[in-house]
Amino acid sequence: MVTAGRAAPGAGLDAILRPRSIAVIGASQDATKIGGRPVQLLQRFGFPGAIWPVNPRAAEVQGLPAFASAAALPDAPDLAIIAVAAEHAAAALEDCAARGTRAAVVFSSGFAELGAEGEAAQAALGAIATRTGMRILGPNCLGAVSVAERSIATFSIVLEGALPPAGPLGIASQSGNLGSYTMLLARERGIGVSRFLTTGNECDVDIADAIAWLAQDDATKVVLAVLETCRDAPRLVRALELAREAGKPVVVLKIGATAAGQAAAASHTGALAGSDAVFDAVFARTGAVRVRSVEALLDLGHAAAVCGEALPRGRRTMLLTASGGFGVLLADAATAVGLELPAPEPATQRRILSVVPFASARNPVDATAQMGARPEVLVEILAAILDDPNCDALLLQLAASLYVPRLRGVFLPALKAMREKHTEKLLMLSVHGPADAVAELTALGMPVVDGVDASTATLAGLCALAEARRAPLPAAVALPPAAPLDPAALRTEAAAKQALAAAGVPVLPERVVRNAEEAAAAAAALGFPVVLKVVSPDLPHKTEVGGVMLDLGDAGAVTAAHAAMLARVRAAAPQARLDGVLVAPMLRGGVELILGTKRDPVFGPVVLVGLGGIFAEIMQDVAIRPAPVDEAEALAMLRSLRAFPVLDGARGRPRADLAAAARAVAAVSRFAAQQAAAVAEVDINPLLVRAEGEGAVALDALIIPREDRP
């Protein structure tokens, strides 16, 4: 789905990233100024196209003929760099559009970042893009670079040293400084960059455009994305889907993780489904993998590019080291990031011990310093491990050994021989070594990461990318039109359950009664034992005022409980409106889940399921996805929970009815999507999942309206 009225993500960016001619509006003779730096960089790095400085007060700028205006240019430039004060930016863009310019990069600051007046000025720039079809990057951005083409549309100080080498990593960043710092680290590590694109305030070109264009770019193999926010959710989702369809891994550094807004949430679901968790859910659905630092962004992005198609087939990891201490560190770090450490097969252990009899042949494998004695020793140990059927990936820890010429002469030939023999399995190194040795190893298709924690985290990221590549994209869920929601469903638990039952969520037979006699009669009809709950639009959390009575076994107990409960409620909440008392059957056994939805301000309705009961917010064991989901995706959500073994029959427990639970998750997600105009949150706590074949049932429910609903 693409937002109405906007171009498809990535459309028109060729003029920004592959321009044949560039005009610099506001070009300066002074190469230290924002208007002078692009002219200097374009000439210094040898841009092969035309460079046209525009400055009405100069006949020449940095040795190039200058022009008084865009109208005076010899031809329409593909790209215009706007390096003028904010108050002149709109006029400059109009002049460029009139000349036929296809795209513009606006360096100028002083727009939406300054408040309402700046927002209005920025909207005017966006209107120029909409009216003329010219794509506009910025304002308040650091521009774009295409390394192989030597196209420099930036004033970043990072390029005052040198360009990074041309290579497979495309950098798309909303933050100019974070994006340029990523490019700087890449250059220092000798890692190749294809494109660099920073979107700034995004009056027109946004981060979705950048990701989508890079996904279709032959020079880009892996996309590194730095996000602060999302201004258009459907476009971002579509861009991530395009990257996945193109087989381009996307590694995301999402900054600004926050719990803002959770304190005001009226339901457990609202407290659990914070905005940052929803970003994680979107990344999980579209196959992007999130990291938490610029260094990790580059580590994983480069490793993915080095691996290419040879991503790990699973998380079963063998660790090989020459040090017992490093082995323990590696094992701890690997376990912490979700890697599996299976024991080698007995035959594998015998092969290792036949080469180094005093090695520790378990996992981690401590081959001692003997593995650096001769190339053939390391070759045989590596072969034994990589031949093991329990090995999906091998992580070899060499510390700083590659700085020692003798050891380098052993390790590099051995690793080259093994890489040529075992192309189907991932062989990765945790090494602090000289740049030329690292480059030699990565050229052989072996990722190299410096540091124990960094290397294990990178390997776990590669596993996540591989899992995303193997998993099919979730199927689109058809949503037939739904009848308008009865306003009563927004008032009480009983009415909410009726609305959810109509949407396919299983509920118990129950009755709302007006007095103790009706309660006793309803209990007898439903069958003992029963539960009593106060019905009030003012008491969403009934237990807090004593408004719930459990396990009532006969009519006398019901009558007494009715009176006692109402007395407690009136004492605790004297102003609350009471609509009656709900009588429902009492169920025992099963597993309690929390199931609900929330309307995220960016991505709209999302569905959440996790460990339920009173510990839901403490345990934080939840799975979140944008709504709606189908039953297959709902089942995958359940399987992702840390508590899944409880559902799956751990320690002799009966296996829960997973199919029924998945149907309930899918039904609630459809309800939330269909009623998005009226409903802010749905909270079912608990959803009781009974033994396999016995179904699931919503024992409590709350529907919270949107404050801005029609």
Query: Do both 51 and 196 map to the same domain?
Result: yes
Whether residues 218 and 318 fall in one domain: no
Peptide bond into 312 cis (omega under 30): no
Q: Are 417 and 379 in contact (CB under 8 A)?
A: yes
Counting Cβ atoms within 10 Å, is residue 11 exposed (0-12), middle (13-18) or buried (19+)?
middle
150 and 173 Cβ atoms separated by less than 8 Å:
no
Residues 566 and 698 in one domain: no
Alpha carbons 666 and 636: distance in angstroms, whole number: 11
Strands ordered across the beta sheet of 50-54: 50-54, 21-25, 79-82, 103-106, 135-137
- Classify residue 59: in a domain, yes or no: yes
365-374, long-range: CB within 8 Å, 24+ apart, which pairs? 365/318, 365/319, 365/320, 365/321, 365/327, 366/321, 366/322, 366/323, 366/324, 366/327, 367/320, 367/321, 367/322, 368/322, 369/322, 371/320, 371/322, 372/322, 372/401, 372/407, 372/410, 372/411, 373/410, 374/410
Question: Is 204 a member of any domain?
Answer: yes
Q: How far is CA 424 from CA 68, 364, 367, 375, in A?
A: 60, 21, 23, 21
> What is the residue type of 379?
V
Supply the CATH number for residue 148's domain.
3.40.50.720
* 40 and 172 housed in the same domain: yes
pLDDT along the chain (710 residues), means of 10: 68 98 98 97 98 97 98 98 97 98 96 90 97 97 97 95 95 96 95 97 97 98 95 94 96 77 40 72 94 97 94 96 93 97 97 94 93 90 95 96 94 90 89 94 95 97 95 83 90 95 96 96 97 94 93 96 97 95 94 94 93 68 93 95 89 91 98 95 95 95 87
Could you tell me which residues come within 8 angstroms of residue 236 by beta carbon, excluding any fewer than 6 positions away? 206, 207, 208, 211, 230, 282
449 & 531 share domain: no
Both 520 and 376 in one domain: the answer is no
Which structure tokens are listed for 188?
A: 């220092």
**Residues 21-40: b if buried by 16+ CB within 10 A, e if exposed:** bbbbbbbbbebeebbbbbbb
Q: Give the H or E element holding residue 661.
A: helix 658-674
User: Would 436 be classed as within a structural domain?
Assistant: yes
Please write down the HEC assignment for all residues of 479-493.
CCCCCCCCHHHHCCH
Long-range contacts (CB closer than 8 Å, 24 or more residues apart) made by 256-265: 256/228, 256/229, 261/601, 265/598, 265/681
Asked if residue 289 belongs to a domain, the reply is no
Domains: count for the chain: 4
Q: Is there a domain that residue 240 lies in?
A: no
Task: Return contacts of 62-70, CB within 8 angstroms, 24+ apart.
Answer: 62/27, 62/29, 62/31, 62/36, 64/39, 66/27, 67/23, 69/95, 70/23, 70/25, 70/95, 70/96, 70/98, 70/99, 70/101
Statement to judge: residues 570 and 596 lie in one domain? no
State how far the Cα of 73 lies from the Cα of 30, in Å rounded to an integer: 21
Residues 424 and 355 reside in one and the same domain: yes
Tokens, residue 339: 């890697």
User: Judging by DSSP bridges, how do beta strands 679-689 and 696-698 pair with one another?
Assistant: antiparallel
Residue 675 within any structural domain of the chain? yes
24 has which bridge partners?
A: 53, 81
- Residues in a beta bridge with 232: none
* 572 and 546 housed in the same domain: yes
In a domain, 391, yes or no: yes
Read off the CATH number of the domain in which 651 is found: 3.30.470.20
Instruction: Please give the Cα distance from 369 to 569 (Å, whole number).
Output: 73
Minimal CA–CA distance to 85: which of 112, 109, 57?
A: 109
Clarify whether residues 413 and 442 are in a common domain.
yes
* Boundary residue ending a domain (555, 585, 615): 585
- Specify whether 459 is located in the same domain as 531: no
Of 177, 206, 227, which residue constitutes the final position of a domain?
A: 227
* Per-residue b or e along 139-161, where b marks 16 or more CB atoms closer than 10 Å to that residue's CB: bbbbbbbbbebbbbbbbbebbee
SS3 category, 271? helix
466 and 603 co-located in one domain? no
What domain range includes position 522?
Answer: 509-585
Beta bridge partners of 393: 317, 426
Q: Answer with the one of 422, 439, 470 that is the final residue of a domain.
A: 470
- Give the per-residue pLDDT at 708: 82
- Domain-located, residue 315: yes
Q: Strands 79-82 and 21-25, how do they pair?
A: parallel
CATH number reported for the structural domain that contains residue 319 in this entry: 3.40.50.261
